Amino acid sequence: MDLQYDTMINANTFDSHRLVHYATTKGKEAEIIDSLLRACLSDSLNISDLEVLVSLAGEVGLNKAEVAAILESDAYVDQVFADIEQGQRLNITGVPFFVFNDKYTISGAQSEQVFLNVLSMISKEEREINNFQMASKSKSEGN
């Protein structure tokens, strides 16, 4: 992707986020996110414009009439507000930001080793929890 920061349009992304929630229900989350990023960062399109959003949705195989109706309604508003609240709880102030198991976070561009360390810690925790649950189940079955 050829980034065009000098011509990028600073847009309100609320409706874009609603579109992502809808696209997720149709198995098109990754495609619409990629399309929105390209539109904003490379093609300098206004991703707060409903016509642009409908067009992008159509390009990834979503029903344009259905998307238009959704964006003209209040569909997925609650989900976007829930995302905002979660971001505030997690003190997210920038991107990229990664959340693992609703417990661990990584902020900013980090090395592979940082990600491997977090994933290793999570894997170890999961094994310990599973071992504890198996031991507890064995004890209760032995009584």
**Mean pLDDT computed over every residue of the chain:** 92
**Residues 72, 109: one domain?**
no
Identify the CA nearest to 33 among candidates 21, 45, 46. Answer: 21
SS3 content of the chain, % helix, strand, coil (to 5): 60, 5, 35
Q: Which of 89, 108, 134 is the last residue of a domain?
A: 89
**Residues 72, 32: one domain?**
yes
**Is residue 79 assigned to a domain?**
yes
Query: Any idea what DSSP says for residue 5?
Result: T
Q: What is the pLDDT of residue 93?
A: 86
Determine which helix (DSSP H) or strand (DSSP E) holds 104, and give its type and residue range. Answer: strand 104-107
pTM assigned to the model: 0.75
**Residues 33, 60: one domain?**
yes
Condensed to tens digits (0 to 9), the pLDDT of residues 11-61 reads 999 999 999 999 999 999 999 999 999 999 999 999 999 999 999 999 999
- Burial of 31 from C-beta contacts in 10 A (0-12 / 13-18 / 19+): middle
User: Domain range holding 102?
Assistant: 97-142
**Is residue 135 assigned to a domain?**
yes
